[in-house]
Amino acid sequence: MKLDDRRSSANNAGTAAVTGRSREGRLIRPCHTETVRLTVARVGYITGRLALLILGIGAVALAACGSDRAATAVSETNNPPRQVRVATAAEAEVARTVTVTGTLAAEDQVILGAKVVGRVSEISVDLGSRVRKGQAIARIDPSDYRLRVNQAQAALQQARVRLGLPAEGGSDRVDPEKTALVRQAAAVLKEARQTHDRMVELWRRNLIAHAELDAAVSQLAVAEGRYQDAIEEARNRQAVLLQRRSELEIARQQLADAVIVSPMDGAVSERQASVGQYLAAGAPVATLVNIDPLRLRLAVPEREARAVRIGQAVKLTVEGDPTTYEGWVARLSPAIDEDNRTLLIEAEVRNAQGVLRPGSFAKAEIVVEAGQQIVTVPRDSITTFAGIEKVLTVAEGKVLEKRVRTGRRIGEAVEITEGVSLGDKVIVNPGNLVSGQAVTVVN
């Protein structure tokens, strides 16, 4: 009981201290304004603590920045300027060229075919075989054609004999008047004329009847007709002789055509027939290409076409071969291609060793002007970043960056078409140098 009484008294005292009572003894509630004042006091206390914390962090950061600047200053004082080597932009005399791409083609390409029908008895070449002009490529079975030659030769001999010529001989010329047929007709005609003349004389003397004279006249007309017919027959036999001579030549030519020969020097690019195969006239046997010289077909852009002339030198390389080959412009197209605005040209390239092959892709440079002056710098002085080419120069002990535009590669040097002038100093092997960095030239 005593403990409870004391707790109750303490609570009542606290309540009285907070709420209070009026003179009439009524309980007075605490005002809301007093509560707000207490809350503001607490918030102010917390805000003050936060402000002190922020000020402390700021002081630490300032101290850190000060120490970094001091360290940087000490570092810059301790690191001397970087030593670099420089090279001078030099002037070089080179030929002005037009760089294009193209394709190598054979000077000539021939598809050999059978001129006569027959069965293939022999093929002496294959893919890649080198051939000479006149060399036998394949043979057709000649048996039938030999028989045709013999037949034509016999017919020719028969025609010669009918004209009164020897069976063997090279000359087919004959005078129709000297043939047996014409001589016989001429004799009959002569006899008919003599008979006619006698009958006319007898009729004048009234020794024969007029009917006998008419018979003599008729016989003379018949003899004249037979003579003319003999002349025409002799000429016809002479024409037959010439025909038989031509048939013999045709038979001999067919026998010769049974052997298929190369019409040029070259190489076999494709074999299209086999031994034992029956070929019709014109059937392909093999494809030949002439590879010396080769034709280099190039498409020159329209803006460069005006500078290209026949006879200009051409330098070319092919994929997989570091050798530079030489040729010359041989032919120019008379018109610009409307589709791609290029001029088609052909260059002749010697290929005596057969190293170059038709169909190869080639990169070529056409020398359109000799002795052009250009500015060059070492290849190691050019750096590239994000597709932008630049060089680094030295100005007042500092690195200065310059953007450039490059042209042709000439050995270890590179042509500069824009950005660097003759005599400018450029840093060789700049590495990780940046613009504004202090450097010292050592050469």
Q: Average pLDDT of 8-22?
A: 40
pLDDT confidence band for 165 (50 / 70 / 90): confident
Query: Three-class SS string for 201-236?
Result: HHHHCCCCCHHHHHHHHHHHHHHHHHHHHHHHHHHH
Q: Average pLDDT of 375-386?
A: 90
pLDDT confidence band for 20 (50 / 70 / 90): very low
Any domain includes 130: no
343 shares its domain with 401: no
Q: Average pLDDT of 168-190?
A: 89
What is the CATH number for 340? 2.40.30.170
Any domain includes 410: yes
Helices and strands of the chain, counted as H and E runs: 6, 20
Any domain includes 212: yes
What is the CATH number for 428? 2.40.420.20
Kindly report which listed range (42-46, 341-345, 427-431) carries the lowest average pLDDT score. Answer: 42-46
358 shares its domain with 407: no
402 shares its domain with 422: yes
360 shares its domain with 421: no
Q: Whole-prediction pTM value?
A: 0.56
Q: What is the pLDDT of residue 92?
A: 86
pLDDT digits (tens, 9 = 90+) for 213-270: 999 999 999 999 999 999 999 999 999 999 999 999 999 999 999 999 999 999 999 9
Domain that holds residue 342: 98-105+289-370
371 pLDDT higher than 90: no
pLDDT digits (tens, 9 = 90+) for 84-101: 899 999 988 877 788 999
191 shares its domain with 227: yes
End of a domain among 347, 370, 393? 370
Any domain includes 269: no
- How far apart CA 424 and CA 45 sit, in angstroms, is 70
406 shares its domain with 430: yes
Report the domain count for the chain.
Answer: 4
Q: What is the pLDDT of residue 214?
A: 92
Best-predicted range by mean pLDDT (15-29, 34-48, 283-297): 283-297
Any domain includes 421: yes
Q: Average pLDDT of 322-340?
A: 93
- CA distances to 214, 217, 251, 272, 325 from 206, in Å: 14, 17, 67, 92, 110
Any domain includes 270: no
Q: What is the pLDDT of residue 212?
A: 92
Any domain includes 134: no
Any domain includes 267: no
